Amino acid sequence: MLENTHAVVEAMLFISEKPLTIEQIKDVVDGLDANGVRKVVAELNAGYEESNRGIRITEVAGGFRMITPPALAPFLRKMYKQRRAEKLSKPALETLAIIAYKQPLTKIEIESLRNVNVDGVMSSLLEKGLIRITGRKNAPGRPIVYGTTRQFLEHFGLKSLEDLPKMEDFSEPKIIEEKAEEKVEEKKDEPAKATEGN
């Protein structure tokens, strides 16, 4: 293992625009296995916390990325108050919630749950890379089925679909959309990427 392993991993995380996977780190740092990567990340994080630094490393969408601590959000909002992440519309959030919780499913199944045509919303979600075609259903006409993407996990700051709030936590379907929207605001406003502003 390199003597400066921590510095190499830190530099990789700093310059990466997407979450950095364990495999990507292992490919660069010889002699480092998956457990070693996790140990280095944990030690870096411990150092940041101990010295009250303005960055942390979080695991999201199957990889690691640098973020800023939520406590610094008010300062970052002041600095970037003009910069707002593109918000998803209510119909897009509702459709996305249905897909996230019930995937894989067809467009007709989504429309039957929403009771509206979802052509435009589906096109928008596909264009944003939040959903993808996952295959075809074994049914007459072999309709296309949809599921969420890794980009969806990144957008909402989730490690995996298991991190979605449990359905039983919702007293009514609309809360799903509200929770999803809150999650976006938290992830976009509070843990801003450490590389922003560089």
**Domains, the chain, ordered by start:** 5-67 (1.10.10.10), 90-189 (1.10.10.10)
Q: Which range, of 61-65, 79-83, 97-101, averages the lowest pLDDT? A: 79-83
pLDDT of residue 196: 44
pLDDT at 194 over 80: no
CA distance 181 to 185: 6
How high is the pLDDT of residue 193?
A: 47
Which of 55, 60, 37, 33 minimizes the C-alpha distance to 45? 55
- Residue spans of beta strands (DSSP E) within the chain: 56-60, 63-67, 105-106, 131-136, 144-148
Q: Give the type of residue at 121.
A: V
Per-residue pLDDT of 128-175, as tens digits, reads 999 999 999 988 889 999 999 998 998 888 888 888 888 766 554 454
Band (pLDDT 50/70/90 cuts) for residue 198 is very low
Residue 81 to residue 192: CA distance in whole angstroms? 12
Of 192 and 167, more confident: 167
How many of the other CB atoms lie within 10 Å of CB of 48? 18
In terms of average pLDDT, the best of 81-95, 110-124, 177-191 is 110-124
Is the predicted pLDDT of residue 22 greater than 90, yes or no? yes
Encode pLDDT of 33-61 as tens digits: 999 999 999 999 999 999 999 999 999 88
Which tokens sit at 166?
């449990």
Name beta bridge partners: 193: 67
Give the type of residue at 170.
F
What tokens appear for 73 in the block?
A: 């959000």
Distance (Å, rounded) from C-alpha 128 to C-alpha 132? 10
Check pLDDT > 50 for residue 82: no
Q: Is the pLDDT of residue 197 over 50?
A: no
Between 69-83, 101-115, 181-195, the lowest mean confidence (pLDDT) is in 181-195
Inform me whether the pLDDT recorded for 192 exceeds 60: no
Q: What is the mean pLDDT of the chain?
A: 83
Statement: residue 188 has pLDDT above 60: no
Residues in the chain, total: 198
* Residue 195 predicted with pLDDT over 50: no
Distances from the Cα of 117 to the Cαs of 88, 142, 197, in angstroms? 17, 20, 41
